[in-house]
Structure 1
Amino acid sequence: MNRIRALISKRINVKVMALFIIVLACVLICTTAITNYYSTRFIKEQRVKYNAQVMSQTENSLLQLNNQITQFLNNYNRESQYQKLYLSNITNFDFLVMKQQIEFETDIKKLIYVNHLDEVIKDMIFYYGDQYMFGIGDGVLDKNYKISGTEWYQSFVDSKSQYMVYGPVDESYKAKNTVREQVMVFFSRLVVPSSSAFKTEQKPFVMVSVKFSAMKEMFEQLISGSRGIVVSDPEGHVVYTSNEAYADLKIIHDKEYFKDLTERKKDYVTYTDQDIFITSTYVGKYNWIISTIDSSEELFKDVDQLVRTINIIVFAFGVLGVLIAIFLIKRLMMPIYVLNHLINTIEEETDTYIDVTTNDEIGQIGQRFNQMKRRLNELNKKMYLSEVRAKEAQISALQAQINPHFLYNTLDNIYCIAQIEEIDPIVELTQSLSNIMRYSIDCKDMYTTVGEELKHVENYLNIINVRYDGSVRLVKEIEEGLEAARTIKLLLQPIVENAWVHGIRKKAIPEGIISIRIYRRADDMEIVVEDDGIGIGEDKLEILNDSLSIFTEEIRTPKNKGFGIALINVNDRIKFMNGEGYGVRIDSIQGAGSKVTIRLKYME
């Protein structure tokens, strides 16, 4: 025994060392990968949230400016006055007309000032053709400049829209001795009345030019620390960048990268490589894509330090764990390994036991093993008897399955004889009873359709009406499409049976109407079963509704709950399947009838 223990001890030490080295290496690799992954993802998520917030503020500023300009064009698109002052007096400018023109221009400048747009609006141009354009604002228009030949004019004509934003563009339409700068141009179409003698082939418009420098100020709010910005259009043309190097990034010119933005599938998209982390959003009013660019080195510089610290801690605890494991294995696991070695020599022999010669841990385990072996032999004998009995029970169960089929066949025989003898009530009774039994006994699925539930109710009421000479009339009101909806099986028939047994049948003349109304309520379905029976007293109704409001997974039977077991059974199944917020509610007026409302989840 000592030789065996020494041999096993040596093997255990080697295995433990090898195993823990492998485990430690795997732990370090996994820890590094997991820490990197989750730390990087967390930092990205926080950066995206922050970038989304600041970009949203910039986007709101841009949209606010767009709305102000559009509102300004809406409120002061005085076409008729402009035509009267300029177009109808092209060759005859008298003093009064000039005075009116000056007043008109003064009014527009005042309106710009009142709308707090004087800091951003540079010019306002009325254009009825290359020969008939007039500007209000800074600088003088170049009378020889052909606006109709510009790319932005053609884009406006092709857009077919009332308003359009384009830019930035250079003020090339101004005289050469005028200071020119980049502007954004906001267009609004003008219409020449058919009664006007003025004719032109160009598309008239009024244009407001906004200083692009005002928009740069909005963009520069996004720049901080190592974060830069690029503004481009979906075609990859750079409108503005805080660093010229960003304009050459391939991803900025990748249409597929921005596809989800421009098609409105996502509000933001991100891109990461070893050097940069990009967050982008789309501003549809300007047809711009705003991208913030963060340095990956700055963004993730703390992750490497965190990984190194965690690896050092894991390695230290790993080494400590190896030492503790070797110590514990020698003290605690050695007897198990020795026992396993001994078991391997007797596992094929059922009558062989361990020869115990010592009283130490191995000896005690050997004694327990011998006791276990004897008990296992006894259990094996009992198991054999259990298997024999299980097979007998299986045979009995197979035989029991014959009975329902025998009953179905018997009912079918009665049905055929009744048809031959032309006994219609028995035909109807046997057919309805056969349908009810098949529907009730079939346990393959706990769900069915609303239509199948209604057929089950009709079969039940057919039997009642044959027995009581047409005492119950069924009225159905089903919302279109709900007959195909799925519902819990055996839901309606117990409620209808309750209405007949406890309501209509107890009337002086046992006749009445049972109505079933089924509606869709958003994600839920509501079923209302109403009868004109004798109703329920207030005390009993309160007790019943209290029982229905309780949710329990225990099976409640007539022995522990008494009256209303059908309602309670249905209610418990609904709450178990759908949750606490669903179930059955009953309203009743004694002497006038009862209404049962069932609320459950809608299932297609």
Structure 2
Amino acid sequence: MVMVKPKGSTKQWTIKWKIVMLALFSTLIPLLIIGPFMFMYINKLVEDRISSAAENYLSLADNNIDRFVNDIENISNIIFLSNEIQGYLNYDQTSPRLYQLETASRDLLNNITVVSNPFINAIYIGNDQHEFLKVNRGQAQFTDDIYERIQSSSWYPMLENSEWGGTWFEAKDLHLTDDSNTLMYGRVIRDLSSSSTIGYTVISVDKNVFKDMLKGVDSSGTMLIHNGKDPIYYNGGDQIQVEEIERVLGNFQDGNTITHTFDHKKYILTKHENETTNWQMISVIPYQQIIQEFSVIRIVVLAILTLSFILALVVALLISKKITGHIRLLGNVAHKMERREKVEDVGFDQQDEIGEVGARLVSLYNRNQELTTQLYESQIKEKEAELRALQSHINPHFLYNTLNSMYWMALKAKAKPIANMAISLSKLFKLTLNEGNHLTSVKNEIELVRNYLNIQNLRFDNKIDYHIDMEPGLEEQTMIKLLLQPIVENAVHHGIEPKEDPGYIEIRGYTHHQSIVFEVSDNGVGADQDHTFGYGLSNIQERIKLFYGPEYGLKMETMKGKGTKVTLHIGFTQHKTA
């Protein structure tokens, strides 16, 4: 049927261009929304990364300062606990013994400072009676009266009040060596037995130790170490005056990050406080550095967004081409179906949904055609079977009654074997017919096998010994009839009967992985391993696969002179038979 387009109607877009426009709008709108947020997010991300890097830098610097302070405190502990220095400060006479004690004390300090601690300028040991200065670097600023100079210095009260621990201070008005860029650590030395003050030790440290200490820590900004009153270390040069940084120290807490402007330039400041000394460490990073890094990222993001848009356009064209190609194939297939033609060799790509639907539609159509043909054939065969059944119909009750009469007549004549054979044959015939039902229970099938073996034992004078082992509950399951008896008959005929000695047959039944398995084993004459199924077993194999599916069937294992084992594998049916 051809549809006529009304006059005056607007031009309709094809599915291909609808898909392309949908893909473009689906890509463009999120890009326009996400783009500005992406720039703000990246800006914040860069600031956070710079802040995190500064915090890591300060944390590393804090660890280095802790190690440095611990080294100095350990040196003061060695001095404090030294027997030679204790003896020297407690000795109140002028004698060779005093010289010996001073020499031993100098040797101790020499071992401490010469190799392990080159950043120590000098160490002073003394009291109001005698004193000495051990110089490690540079020249001594004074040769005598150092104790009086210490007492008159501005930092002496801090030293006097340091109790058992030591204290750090700036030595602005007194330096032990000719190096004025020093930091002092002082400690009161007390008698170990009486705890009374016996003297003082002052350690002069070169401030360049901080430069060496922070050399291995990467930082692109400025570093200031401050003791709360005076700067201890600063590597910013003339870029920013220390006084300007000191004015903003009180504006933010430990661990915080703020932005501040110095001389019309914006900086990011991060502060960290050393818990051992209470020194404040401030990292100062120019904001322009962040902007430069952000500019590079912004260009990259713009390039990515543009590339995303171009890729979306290309992908939309490819997808629309593929979809419309499948739609055209579906149209051709529908045309063939209308004419009842066989559809084959259609190139649907089953990797996507439309191709899968198209391939499935073709498969269903061809399958429907096959089933229609099979239905016609089965209806013809069914009619033929009905005719054969009418021609060969025998009243089963007549046969049952006749066999039962033979049974009672044999008993009356005291021919018990003949009676047993008659009753077994009657039961076998009844179970075989199964009232015309093609399904039976496992129990009935096993009973059929027993009656068959009883008849054979009467025939062969109890030559066959057998054992039947069924899994509990299995006998209530349903199966198609006449599967086991032909297998057992095959074992008797081809395995036990040709054998001179008595034979043994074992029948096992059990469930396995949602299926039923029967094993029929005999110790008969066996056969070659390349032996194939005969007509009877082939018939069973075909019946099983037709009823249960291609994954079920028979498997035979045989060895000449050893016997044969046939494994029957069937599925569960939907209902049980009593």
Q: Do they fold alike, i.e. is TM over 0.5? A: no
Q: Rg: which structure is higher?
A: 2
TM-score tier by shorter-chain length is 0.3 to 0.5
After TM superposition, the score normalised by the length of structure 2 is: 0.42
